[in-house]
Structure 1
């Protein structure tokens, strides 16, 4: 990656981007990607100038990028103060440029940027910056119309990593795919070691179960979910690498929180789901890599305010606790369903399905979620909505939702009215990306939350 002096073109581009952000932020309550688009239209190479002198961490993968980024920023702030990041989840090139444009510059001290990056954009971003680390959360089947199979997606990520052989790769060691290719980079692995070894196999329809060395079916001594765990190949000896950081104890899980230990350090994160423990473990590992003491990392991760837009935020709607959760692919959906069904109190459920480009236009992934496992006797109302409400309605009818508990509505304004009228204290709203945006915009307009996305 060649160095260059800041040119008049790049200076003009940056000035235009900052001006557009000021206007959009102050008058339109937005501005997460458009300022970047304007800047890049003037100087497509401007990111080289913007990212210069930063120690940069790129976080990518199918699920967990946004929360891992937010938690990592929390951990690093405990030692370094201001951290540049793209908190809105605008994770393509224009969103990352906007993050640099809008960052409050530090006069002294280490300049760190933690960037959530779309998988397909890793090689694009890597052309312009020099990362200290690449963080790989997981790879599952997701938006196949855009990404292809998981091996195709991994090759896109590797294309970016190979540009920077000295950058450290911090990877989920429980994912076999991240151990499938030889890399010259320094490697740090994290994962789960919270149970005694017990011989087991993953479910037959799980992706990524073939040994990358000999194509034999992988076995597990410990299975967390999907194909994540302590895997090994009984045919050729391929196995999970040594973990440098691990969850060694899982104490308590509810839909609202998880208590566990990382290398003997107990913490409670105020968000449910085993997948979010992986996100916290990744953030802890990045913190350790950048010199944050375990005690400070634990305090940061245990902060009740570590919440992230639309990923799993709890919104008070007229006294009702509405948990808004982004769902977008089979593994993520299935893990959310497992978390939701662990609620011991009666709850209402809404599932909102759109199929725009940002959601993925193929909705077949809804058939891989185990809706049949839901405790319908404790769910008095099941509401389906969104542009593809007929698809999700049919899926839930097949799953056995009692007809007397069923409601369906395409229009999201009516959906929100029905959510307000649900009879339980808790309501879970599972929604695809554009449906999350639409619902949040309505909630912001009605004063239940602040805006923050465009």
Structure 2
């Protein structure tokens, strides 16, 4: 390392220590300070770590967490950004605060789509993992093809890296890459050709813009697609879900390549994250048995179906940020056979996306006749989500814009089980308050 990068790393480490001892933490500022001193600091870490980059719209955090658990069954030192701080400054913080590895280590990092190029100009990864691309924060990213172009700008700097891509996502098969590519997806059923609903996200063929048809569709535009006009179709899968067994709000049991697995989170969308982690593990030589051990860990992931006990209430905290992800979460909650209360904390800061119109694509109407005992809305844009729920036919609605008071409102809810949906900054703010009140350890990394 150069003298400049050494100084930059020491300043970053010191600021991190101060923030975590006196200011309740922080994962961006140490990286910002480090980059001010040495904008090329990431190059220094290429000698210490081989890198796996996980990117895409939904599922990055859980895919990264599961991949890290899987790889730790084989590799002694695996570094990761566990709180999902996935922009350049957060990634720098992850590196500068990690213990220096005794030998070259492995880093599995969630990376924001627009920041892939900022990493790969300094570190050439061993692999990329592509989860999916949906409409998300359109004020920042634009349409899905714009988002994919941002990712590819970074991938093209590392043509030797293996791309581990969701084969059910047609955009990932739309352009030829110089990289070796392997695909994962669902193959648990095969039906006669059928059409997806007209408002499905990503329904047009990326080659000729004709409407795609399907032999299998999991959700949104994902599945075994084909174009009847130009012949474009899903690529051959290297790793596949071959059976679905049990799906509940708290657990999913399924088979991948004939091996049975269970993860302690609900939702079909989370099986994709497990499948991606399985593909990563197999590419790095981890056995199916080791992967099963990793999946059986009950460790919860920051903001992803964390279950927090608040004065006897079992509060499941779930991050939501775009219509496809929101509807998958709502579908998962709808499988609960017990009475529950449902809350939604809506912010509209830069990290959340300042456009809140995506909530209107959420299928809240399915709960109008369900056994939801109480609704609670909060956050900076609580009026927006209140109006959306009212238009869905919801009654029994409490509103509380002050997140500090939201915790008190949770205690007053009529059910033991509570699902609390929140955008990114609302998750951070709420966890900080929960930590201050000793309901969890640490509010933010």
TM-score computed with the length of structure 1 as normaliser: 0.96
1:414 aligns with 2:405: yes
- Aligned partners of 1:198 and 1:301: how far apart in 2? 34
- On the 8 A contact 1:56/1:113 being kept in 2, the answer is yes
1:148 aligns with 2:139: no
1:95 aligns with 2:90: yes
Deviation at 1:192, TM superposition (A): 0.5
1:345-424 matched pairs, under 5 angstroms: 345-374=338-367, 376-402=369-395, 405-424=396-415
Q: Secondary structure at the match of 1:94?
A: helix
- Aligned partners of 2:311 and 2:6: how far apart in 1? 48
1:323 aligns with 2:316: yes
- On the 8 A contact 1:258/1:272 being kept in 2, the answer is yes
- Aligned partners of 2:434 and 2:422: how far apart in 1? 14
- Aligned partners of 1:295 and 1:104: how far apart in 2? 29
1:37-436 matched pairs, under 5 angstroms: 37-108=32-103, 110-305=104-299, 307-374=300-367, 376-402=369-395, 405-436=396-427
- Aligned partners of 2:46 and 2:94: how far apart in 1? 10
Deviation at 1:235, TM superposition (A): 0.9
The corresponding residue for 2:434 is: 443
- Aligned partners of 1:184 and 1:162: how far apart in 2? 8
Q: Secondary structure at the match of 1:25?
A: helix
- On the 8 A contact 1:341/1:375 being kept in 2, the answer is no
What CA deviation, in whole Å up to 9, does each residue of 1:1-32 have, x standing for no partner? xxxxx321111111111222222223333131
- On the 8 A contact 2:48/2:101 being kept in 1, the answer is no
Deviation at 1:375, TM superposition (A): 5.6
- On the 8 A contact 2:434/2:443 being kept in 1, the answer is no
Q: Secondary structure at the match of 1:365?
A: helix
Q: Secondary structure at the match of 2:199?
A: coil
The corresponding residue for 1:8 is: 3
- On the 8 A contact 1:51/1:100 being kept in 2, the answer is no
- On the 8 A contact 1:200/1:223 being kept in 2, the answer is no
- Aligned partners of 1:452 and 1:283: how far apart in 2? 27
Q: Secondary structure at the match of 1:19?
A: helix
Larger deviation, residues 158-167 vs 23-32: 23-32
Q: Secondary structure at the match of 2:301?
A: coil
- Aligned partners of 1:315 and 1:260: how far apart in 2? 26
Q: Secondary structure at the match of 1:56?
A: strand
Deviation at 1:105, TM superposition (A): 2.6
- Aligned partners of 1:228 and 1:129: how far apart in 2? 31
Q: Aligned in 2, Cα 1:280/1:318: closer, same or farther, shift over 3 Å?
A: same
- Aligned partners of 2:241 and 2:370: how far apart in 1? 34
- Aligned partners of 1:20 and 1:414: how far apart in 2? 31
Deviation at 1:406, TM superposition (A): 1.5
Deviation at 1:219, TM superposition (A): 0.3
Deviation at 1:376, TM superposition (A): 3.9
- On the 8 A contact 1:258/1:273 being kept in 2, the answer is yes
Q: Secondary structure at the match of 1:396?
A: helix
The corresponding residue for 1:3 is: none
Runs of at least 4 residues of structure 1 off by over 3 A?
none
- Aligned partners of 1:346 and 1:337: how far apart in 2? 15
Deviation at 1:282, TM superposition (A): 0.5
- Aligned partners of 2:370 and 2:320: how far apart in 1? 23
Larger deviation, residues 16-25 vs 74-83: 16-25
Deviation at 1:452, TM superposition (A): 4.4
- On the 8 A contact 2:379/2:402 being kept in 1, the answer is yes
RMSD over aligned Cα, in angstroms? 1.2
Structure 1: state its 5+ residue gaps.
1-5
Deviation at 1:102, TM superposition (A): 1.4
